[in-house]
């Protein structure tokens, strides 16, 4: 539990610093190999990076390690970045190091059964960046290595791109970028989408959420929500969540980005044998989320969120939700 609280606090602290320097959002994908090269699979990473100095940055990312034979693993990574060469050139070489909070679904000896393991390891990345002159876009190639004590590490090769907020790259080196604006004071939203069970078969079901969010300051907010995860066949869960969110608005206050985390109290029906649900129980867990919103006009926002629901009884889930929010 202490490691879980530490990494979530660090995620929130990272994003809250993004009010004074340049920021970028990137998406990369590619191939991954386990230790010993015995198996290959896919990998992808979505990352938010904040420049605290021309040669130093911090990032928060979600890293998916694909489906190795004995592991379905992904998690949150916080990395400190340093520029090794070319900080003011079209080509830049950068090194990133930091902790990796991983979630791993693994098979058990009983046929068809599984367990959800959690832990903290380390992640290291070497990245080659090609900046587009006069553009906010950049192209990236990255080698990433995960190091997990007592567990199998991986090596991946990823390629992709990133979008920089504020001034284009070379202009941004000579002046201050845009300062993010405040989040809306009040927001009521209805979102719907999909629950994905963190199991060997990734069972799914329909899901929806009703949320009220109140902004405490320019970048901090509290959100209370009712979330119905539906029935995946292994789990029927619904209940209340309370999350602290931190983020900011970009692109003339049209785009909102943020991360949130907090407890959820749920009504749970487990299905250990795949045939019928057991008795309903009340369980407390943790839900961590990343979200984006696009202001359609002064009153309406298009919302999207990805949430990981963390349990202590091998029933972790992912929630992919989209919907509309009314803001005032």
Query: For 9-44, what is each residue's pLDDT tens digit?
Result: 444 444 444 444 568 889 999 999 987 655 789 999
In angstroms, the CA 36 to CA 292 distance is 38
Same-domain status, 153 and 215: no
- Structural domain harbouring 45: 19-172
Is 70 exceeded by the pLDDT of residue 107?
yes
- Kindly report which listed range (162-171, 261-270, 275-284) carries the lowest average pLDDT score: 275-284
User: Do 268 and 142 share a structural domain?
Assistant: no
108-141, pLDDT tens digit by residue?
A: 877 667 888 888 999 999 999 998 777 888 999 9
Confidence bin at 273 (pLDDT 50/70/90): low
Residue 82 within a domain? yes
Shared domain check, 261 and 203: yes
Percent of the chain with pLDDT over 90: 47
Mean pLDDT of the chain: 83
CA–CA dist 123, 45 (Å, integer)? 12
Q: Is residue 321 part of a domain?
A: yes
Give me the pLDDT at residue 64, please. Answer: 93
The answer to whether residues 5 and 118 touch, using CB atoms and an 8 Å cutoff, is: no
**CATH number, domain at 309?**
2.40.160.20
Per-residue pLDDT at 183 exceeds 80: no
Domain final residue, candidates 139, 172, 205: 172
pLDDT of the residue at 151: 82
Joined together, the tokens standing for residue 92 give 């830049």
Query: pLDDT tier at 280 (50, 70, 90 boundaries)?
Result: low
| pLDDT tens digit sequence for 227-251 | 999 998 888 899 999 999 988 888 8
Tell me: do 164 and 220 sit in the same domain: no
User: Is there a domain that residue 12 lies in?
Assistant: no
What is the number of structural domains in the chain? 2
Query: What number is the average pLDDT over the span 303-325?
Result: 93
């Amino acid at each position: 539990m202490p490691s879980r609280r530490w990494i979530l606090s660090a995620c929130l602290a990272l994003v809250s610093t993004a009010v004074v320097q340049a920021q970028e959002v990137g998406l990369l994908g590619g191939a991954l190999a386990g230790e010993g090269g015995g198996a290959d699979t896919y990998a992808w990473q979505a990352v938010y990076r904040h420049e605290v100095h021309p040669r130093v940055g911090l990032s928060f990312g979600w890293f998916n390690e694909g489906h190795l034979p004995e592991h379905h693993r992904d998690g949150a990574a916080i990395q400190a970045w340093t520029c090794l060469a070319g900080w003011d050139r079209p080509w830049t070489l950068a090194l990133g190091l930091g902790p990796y909070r991983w979630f791993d679904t693994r098979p058990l000896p009983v046929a068809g059964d599984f367990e959800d393991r959690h832990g903290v390891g380390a992640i290291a990345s070497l990245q080659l960046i090609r900046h587009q002159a006069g553009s906010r876009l950049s192209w990236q190639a990255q080698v990433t290595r995960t190091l997990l004590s007592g567990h199998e590490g991986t090596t991946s090769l990823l390629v992709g791109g990133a979008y920089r907020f504020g001034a284009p790259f070379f202009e941004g080196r000579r002046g201050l970028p845009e300062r993010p604006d405040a989040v809306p004071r009040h927001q009521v939203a209805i979102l719907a989408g999909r629950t994905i069970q963190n199991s060997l078969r990734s069972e799914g079901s329909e899901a929806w959420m009703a949320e009220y969010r109140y902004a405490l300051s320019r970048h901090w907010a509290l959100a209370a929500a009712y979330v119905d995860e539906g029935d995946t066949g292994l789990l029927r869960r619904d209940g209340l969540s309370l999350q602290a969110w931190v983020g900011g608005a970009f692109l003339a206050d049209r785009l909102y980005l943020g991360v949130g985390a907090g407890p959820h109290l749920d009504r749970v029906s487990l299905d250990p044998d795949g045939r019928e649900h057991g008795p309903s129980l009340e369980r407390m867990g943790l839900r961590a989320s990343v979200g984006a919103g696009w202001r359609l006009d002064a009153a309406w926002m298009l919302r999207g969120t990805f949430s990981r629901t963390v349990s202590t009884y091998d029933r972790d889930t992912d929630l992919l939700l989209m919907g509309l929010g009314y803001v005032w």
